[in-house]
């Protein structure tokens, strides 16, 4: 168990390292291919009336004049030991984990990201609760009443659900429920109130994005659960369980559902990890100031430290979600033993 954990952890770190290297080179090597010099690259960060001399100064300040490998090394070092940053009125120490300072706003990236995280987490958790309950319940019921009207209707809706792009459903729901009516009968869906400030407003404001996002996932999960249930209910051990006279409820819940849920947990873990790293489309459709919106804004503004930071954060969530999923497997599925 311990060796397995250590092996997986090392794997995770290597993975993050690879992700960081690839992202870094995209932003530094590709523009060079396009013929941009380090000073050119710095010019975009020096404001409206920049002189060539100021661009030169900026290139130096941002470290663009060094070889890419040196810049990458500096970036990695800052994460582990921190870095010093010239604040104008003095040097400030940016303590580890230091993801550098935004080229444009000149604010440290890490606290900025931590600031955005609750928004994305709120969105992901709320939506996940809804889609898990709705999706799994629909899937199980559909499987048990296979071929019924309910099954057909639910599966049709689910199929439609997975076929709708979220920026379309989000837009439509905003227009119908928020913008369109002057009374805002339903939630506004385009503002965020922190949970600690007012839980009721928090939930009210997030209701629309939650439902929109959850609809997409619930549809997929209902299909998965149904397929999984049908498969397990056809297995021999279920027949055995029935044969030995177990009540149907117990067969379904303790044997069928448990086995059918295993793949759902894997997928859920990965989906959730991916969402925590930024629900890009949902957040941009609903203008929620989460990690995903942060990422898009950073990319559009070419703000490299932010892009690096957000990519790493997102990759971190995915990698650790998959790690946790594998560990959970051992608990849920008695056939899996970690060796």
Partner 1 sequence: MTAPLDVSGTELQAAPEAVVEGAGGAKAIQGRSLGQIAWMRLKRDKVAMAGAIFVIFLILVAIFAPVITGLLGHPPNEFHQDMINPETMGPKASWGGINKDFLFGVEPVNGRDLFSRVVYGARISLLIAFFATMLSVVIGTVLGVVAGYFGGWTDMIISRAMDVFLAFPLLVFAIALAGVIPDKAFGLEGDTLRIVLLVFIIGFFSWPYIGRIIRGQTLSLREREFVDAARSLGARGPYILFREILPNLVAPILIYSTLLIPTNVLFEAALSFLGVGIRPPTATWGGMLSDAVHFYTVPHFMFFPGMAIFLTVLAFNLFGDGLRDALDPRSSR
Partner 2 sequence: MTRRSLVVATLSGALLLGVAACGGGSTSTSPSGGSTGEAAAPAAADAFNAGIGKVFNPSDKKGGVIKFAISDDFDSVDPADTYYGFAWDFLRVYGRSLVTYKPAPGQEGNQVVPDLAESLGQASDDNKTWTYKLRTGVKFEDGTPVKSADVKYAVLRSLDKKTFPNGPTYFNDWLDLPKDFVSVYKTPDVKTDSAIETPDDQTIVFHLKKGYAGFDNFAALPGTIPVPQAKDTGVKYREHVVATGPYMFKSAEAGKGYSLVRNPNWDQATDQIRKALPDGYEIEAKANADDLDNRLISGDVQVDLAGTGVQPAALSRVLGDPALKARSDNPTAARTWYWSIIGDVKPLDNLDCRKAIQFAADKVALQTAYNGPFAGGDIATSLMPPSIAGHQDFNLYPAGADNHGDVAKAKEALTACGQPNGFAINAAYRADRPKEKQAGEALQQALARVGIKLTLKGYPAGDYFALYAGKPSFNKENNIGLAANGWGADWNDGFGFLSQIVDSRTIREAGNYNMSVKDPAVDALIDKAMTTADATARNGVWAEVDKKVMEDSYVLPAVWAKALTVRGKGLTNVFVNDAYGLYDYLALGVQ
Residues that bind partner 1 (CB under 8 A): 11, 14-16, 18-19, 23, 26-27, 30-31, 33-35, 159-160, 162-165, 167-168, 171-172, 174-175, 179-180, 227, 230-231, 234, 270, 274, 277-278, 280-281, 284, 292, 295-296, 299-300, 302, 307, 310-311, 314-315, 318-319, 322
Burial bucket for residue 42 (CB in 10 Å: 0-12, 13-18, 19+): buried
Any contact of residue 179 with partner 2 (CB under 8 A)?
yes
Q: Which of 90, 147, 245, 334 binds partner 2 (CB under 8 A)?
A: 90
Beta carbon of residue 18, minimum distance to partner 1 (angstroms, whole number): 5
Residue 277's binding partner out of partner 2, partner 1, none, with CB under 5 to 8 Å set by partner kind: partner 1
From residue 57 to residue 86, the character string flagging contacts with partner 2 as x (rule: CB under 8 A) and all else as - is xx--x-------------------------
Any contact of residue 185 with partner 2 (CB under 8 A)?
no
Q: Which of 287, 263, 292, 267 is nearest to 277 (CA)?
A: 292
Beta carbon of residue 291, minimum distance to partner 1 (angstroms, whole number): 9
Q: Report residue 111: phi and psi, to 5°.
A: -60, -30
Is the distance from CB of 86 to CB of 251 less than 8 angstroms? Answer: no
Residue 83, beta-bridge partner list: 94
Q: Can you tell me the distance from the alpha carbon of 155 to that of 298, in angstroms, rounded to the nearest whole number?
A: 39
Choose between 257 and 313: whose C-beta lies nearer to partner 2.
313
Q: Can you tell me the distance from the alpha carbon of 67 to that of 191, in angstroms, rounded to the nearest whole number?
A: 43
Q: Which stretch binds partner 2 (CB under 8 A): 105-113, 139-147, 268-276, 311-319?
A: 105-113
Residue 44's binding partner out of partner 2, partner 1, none, with CB under 5 to 8 Å set by partner kind: partner 2
Helix ranges restricted to H, 84-198: 109-144, 149-163, 166-173
Q: Which of 2, 3, 33, 52 binds partner 2 (CB under 8 A)?
A: 52
Q: Footprint of partner 2 on residues 8-37 (CB under 8 A)? A: 36
Beta carbon of residue 170, minimum distance to partner 1 (angstroms, whole number): 10
Q: How many residues form the binding site for partner 2 (CB under 8 A)?
A: 39
Any contact of residue 88 with partner 2 (CB under 8 A)?
yes
- Alpha-carbon separation of residue 125 from 29, 76, 119, 166, 324 (angstroms): 37, 31, 10, 17, 17
Q: Footprint of partner 2 on residues 230-289 (CB under 8 A)? A: 286-287, 289
- Alpha-carbon separation of residue 123 from 129, 193, 255, 281 (angstroms): 10, 12, 33, 12
Going by C-beta distance under 8 Å and a sequence separation of 6 or more, which residues neighbour residue 167? 281, 284, 285
Q: Which of 116, 84, 114 is nearest to 100 (CA)?
A: 84
- Alpha-carbon separation of residue 45 from 13, 64, 78 (angstroms): 32, 12, 21
Q: Which stretch binds partner 2 (CB under 8 A): 159-167, 184-192, 239-247, 263-271?
A: 184-192
Is the distance from CB of 257 to CB of 140 less than 8 angstroms? Answer: yes
Residue 142's binding partner out of partner 2, partner 1, none, with CB under 5 to 8 Å set by partner kind: none
Choose between 69 and 159: whose C-beta lies nearer to partner 1.
159
Choose between 45 and 202: whose C-beta lies nearer to partner 1.
45
- Between helix 166-173 and helix 199-233 the angle, nearest 10°, is 140
Going by C-beta distance under 8 Å and a sequence separation of 6 or more, which residues neighbour residue 279? 120, 123, 124, 213, 290, 291, 292
Choose between 68 and 203: whose C-beta lies nearer to partner 1.
68
Q: Which of 107, 159, 160, 172 binds partner 2 (CB under 8 A)?
A: 107
Is the distance from CB of 123 to CB of 213 less than 8 angstroms? Answer: yes
Using CB under 8 A, list all residues that contact partner 2. Answer: 36, 40-41, 43-52, 54-55, 57-58, 61, 87-90, 105-107, 112, 178-179, 182, 184, 188, 190-191, 286-287, 289, 300-302
């Amino acid at each position: 168990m311990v060796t397995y954990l250590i092996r997986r952890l090392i794997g995770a770190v290597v993975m993050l390292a690879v992700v960081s290297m690839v992202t870094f080179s995209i932003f530094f090597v590709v523009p060079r291919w396009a013929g941009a010099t380090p000073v050119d690259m710095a010019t975009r960060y020096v404001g409206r009336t920049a002189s060539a001399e100021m661009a030169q100064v900026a290139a130096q300040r941002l470290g663009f004049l060094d070889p890419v490998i040196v810049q990458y090394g500096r970036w990695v070092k800052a994460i582990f030991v921190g870095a010093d940053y010239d604040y104008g009125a003095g040097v400030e120490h940016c303590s580890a984990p230091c993801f550098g300072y935004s080229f444009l706003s000149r604010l440290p990236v890490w606290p900025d990201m931590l600031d955005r995280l609750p928004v994305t987490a709120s969105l992901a958790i709320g939506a996940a609760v809804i889609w898990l309950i709705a999706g799994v319940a629909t899937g199980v019921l559909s499987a048990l009443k296979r071929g019924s009207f309910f099954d057909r209707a639910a599966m049709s809706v689910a199929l439609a659900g997975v076929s709708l792009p979220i920026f379309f459903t989000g837009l439509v729901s905003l227009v119908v429920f928020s913008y369109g009516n002057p009374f805002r009968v339903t939630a506004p869906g385009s503002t965020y109130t922190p949970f600690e400030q007012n839980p009721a407003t928090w939930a009210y404001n997030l209701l629309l994005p939650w439902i929109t996002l959850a609809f997409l996932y619930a549809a997929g999960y209902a299909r998965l659960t149904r397929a999984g249930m049908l498969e397990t209910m056809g297995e021999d051990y279920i027949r055995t369980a029935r044969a030995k006279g177990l009540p149907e409820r117990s067969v379904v819940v303790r044997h069928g559902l448990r086995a059918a849920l295993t793949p759902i947990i894997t997928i859920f873990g990965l989906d959730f990890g991916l969402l925590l790293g930024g629900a890009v489309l949902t957040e941009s459709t609903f203008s929620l100031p989460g990690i995903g919106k942060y990422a898009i804004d950073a990319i559009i503004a070419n703000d490299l430290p932010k892009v690096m930071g957000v990519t790493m954060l997102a990759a971190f969530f995915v990698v650790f979600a998959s790690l946790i999923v594998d560990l959970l497997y051992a608990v849920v599925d008695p056939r899996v033993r970690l060796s």
